[in-house]
Each structure stands twice: as structure tokens, then as C-alpha cells.
Amino acid sequence: MGMMTLASSFRPLPPPWLIALLLTLAWGAAARAEVVLTMDAPAGCPGRSDLEAAIAARGARLDGNGPQRALHVRIEAEAEGFVGILSLPLSAEPALRRIHATSCAELVDALAAVAAIAVSHAPEAPQEVSPKRVSYEASDAVVAPSGLPRAADGAPVAAPGATALAHGSRHAPARDPGTLRSDGVLLGPFQRRRELSVEAGTLTIDRGFDLTLLGGAAIGVLPGQVVPRFDFIAIRTTMLTLPGDTGTFLSAPLLYSRLGVLGPALYTGADVETDLFGLSLGVGTCLALGYVRDGFSALLCGELGYGVVGLQTLDGSGNEEQSKTRGYGSVGGSALFQYGFGSRVHVTLRFGLDSTTHALSAQRADGSEVFHGARFLAADDDGFNGYGISGYVQLGIGVHF
């Protein structure tokens, strides 16, 4: 009975290859380094927990049971926004990364993307740092294994929180977006993905404006004649300059705003005359089919607008038949073809089409109609005068800044 009990309780040992595999996996898990994140940021910026969450959202893990690695982030306010300095002592050749952005939230998101890539590709064990590793911001500085910048002779020259990163280092100067040359659109309207090979370094985000003053003529407002139309448009641009002089590209979205003047114009009928003058404004977005600051650009823009127009009708003796001011809503679209002379000045040709909540019209004192503008959907007995429709062409000159 005792022999049978012993035999039934015996279990053979696992094969040697299985033991080796389990030990290897266990050693690999134990070797994953723990990344200790520290962060200095001005009041009002997202905190360390927000940055950790953004890094984790990109699939990178900071926890581990191996050797600890320091990852330090410092954010400073500057005249044009914020600059983030990211110390990356995680690879064979650590470095500092400097990123500029207009808002602190945008900057933290960009820092999280860079940190996630660095953490995901960190080696399993500490590495020697090449003595010739040069920080991209400082031609005579190297980054020590601790992640702190040192001069070429090895002496420390700055500590986290200090304004200067290294002897001879410089903050990327605030650049005027109007002087940036654009190499095109970062992602075309029909592109879902684009791959660009870039060097390690600074990703700079610059925001600016394209301001254009346009003049031309509108048709469909008054029957049988053109009406002067003038517009001042502002398009907010966001330019991304990639590291290593890879290029400067336009990034979406493009925010669009417009202030317009319609008229003055005079409509002459058989027995009366009507003066017209109007103001309008609109907001919307633009889609860039192509964009080169010192070359050809093409934009498609859409807007929602509101306008006010004044109409005064006089008879042949100069007596007032009718005077009215009326507001209207509008939906419009336009195509802008722009050519830049250098990085500052451009000329623009613009075509557009607008639809308004009602067609313009004027009446005599007895209520009879003098005219109505181009429209679709006929007027009815309830006072609806049909939806107005008009087109225009304009030529203008503008600047970037």
C-alpha cells in the first residue's frame, strides 16, 4: 500500500528546455527598467499625472522592476508661448529635446509623444554615452549619463530648472511666421497617411495669419448689373518646421474670417431709383489643396455669414418711396488662388458663390415691386421672397505675418 501511494504521488520534472524558457522570460521581465518621471512646469500647465497619462495612452509603460531611469521634463513660458525641454537619458546616446508650442496643453501632448517613443525604445541596460554626442541645441555641449548637460571638457554647466542648458546653448529664437517658407501641405485633403524621415531635434509650431484685401464685382444682387464688392479676409495658419531642416509644412485646420462691404450701387428703374449699401461678416474654415509661401497656393473655403443691407428708393422727383434696412444670413463657398512673392507678400484671385436667406428686393410706396435679386424658390404670400443667390470674382493683395 505504501509503495502504491508513493508511485501515485510522483510527478516527472519538466524538460530542461521548458525550464530554460521560463527562466529567460522571467529574467526579461525583471530586466525592464522603471522610468522615474519628474516635471517642472508653470502654474496653469498640465501636471506630471497628465503627462504620465498621455505617455501611457500612446502605449508606453513607465513602471518596471529593473534599474531606475530618470526622465526629466521642464516647461518654461516664453514670449511666443511655451518651450519644453525633455531630458532623455534612456538610449545609448542620450540627448535633450526642445519643443516649442503656442499653448501649454499642445506642448505637453507633443512632449508625451516624444517621451513615449524614447521609453518604448530604451535599452535593457545602461549604456555608455559617446563623448562626441552633441546636443542639437548646443554645438559645444554633451549630455552626461545622468541626463544633465555638460561642457565639452566634462564640467557641469547647468542643472534642471536653470535657464541655460549648456555653455553656448541657445533657446530657439521666436520666429516671425510671416518669414517662414512653406514646402507645401503636411497632409493633403485626399491623404490619410504620409511618412517623413526626420532627424532628432526640434519640432517647431508657428502660428500666423494670411491677411488679404480684395475688390471685385458681384452678380445676382441687382437684376442686370454688377455690384461692387470688397472683402478683407484673415486666414489663421499653423506651420510645422520639422527637425533637421526637413521642411516647413502647413498643417490643418485653417480658420477663416471675413469682413465685407457690398456697394454702394444704384439701380435705375422706369420711374424710380434705389440706392444700395451693405455690410457683412463671415467665419469658416479652408482646405489647402496646395500651399507654398513663395509660390502657388490653392485654398477652398466655406463660411457661415450674416449681413445687413440698406435700400432707399426715390421717385423721379426725389421723393422717398421706401427706405428699409434688412438683415440676412448666408452660406458661402469660395476658391482662392494665391501666388507669393517671397515669404511676405502675395496676390490672390478669388471666385465665390453665396446663398442668402432671402433675395434682396425694393418696393414703391404703393407696395408694388421695383426689383428683386436672383433667387431660387419663388416668393409666396407670407412675405417669403425666395432664397437669394449671387456670385462674385475678386482680385487682391495680402501679407503674411
Is there a single domain that holds both residue 182 and residue 331? Answer: yes
* Residues contacting residue 251 through CB under 8 Å, at least 6 positions apart: 186, 187, 238, 239, 240
Specify whether 135 is located in the same domain as 261.
no
pLDDT for 213 = 97
Q: How many CB atoms lie within 10 A of CB 320?
A: 10
> Residue written as cell 504620409?
194
Q: Is residue 157 one of the residues assigned to a domain?
A: no
Residues 256 and 233: beta-carbon distance below 8 Å:
yes
**Residue 100 and residue 239 in one domain:** no
Residues 371 and 254 in one domain: yes
252 and 355 fall within a common domain? yes
Residue 194 lies in a domain: no
Query: CA dist 10 to 2, 102, 145, 377, Å?
Result: 13, 70, 53, 93
Number of domains making up the chain: 2
Average pLDDT over residues 322-349: 92
Do 247 and 123 lie in a common domain? no
For residues 147 and 281, state if they share a domain.
Answer: no
Tell me, yes or no, whether 169 lies in a domain.
no
- Is the distance from CB of 278 to CB of 262 less than 8 angstroms? yes
- 181 and 135 within one domain: no
Kindly give the residue spans of alpha helices, DSSP state H, lying in 238-301: none
Q: Give a yes or no: residue 162 inside a domain.
A: no
Q: When comparing pLDDT for 6 and 251, which is higher?
A: 251
More reliable by pLDDT, 14 or 227? 227
Residue 93 in domain: yes
- Look at residue 370 and tell me if it is in a domain: yes
Q: What is the pLDDT of residues 240-299, one digit of tens each?
A: 777 766 677 777 678 999 999 999 999 998 889 999 999 999 999 998 888 887 788 899
* CATH number of residue 250's parent domain: 2.40.160.20
- Predicted local distance difference test score (pLDDT) of residue 78: 86
Is 388 inside any structural domain?
A: yes
Residue 119 lies in a domain: yes
- Which residue range is the domain that position 342 belongs to? 177-189+202-400
Q: What is the DSSP letter of 185?
A: B
139 and 213 both lie in a single domain: no
Shared-domain flag, residues 106 and 63: yes
pTM for this prediction: 0.55
Q: Are residues 213 and 136 in the same domain?
A: no
- Same structural domain, 182 and 253: yes
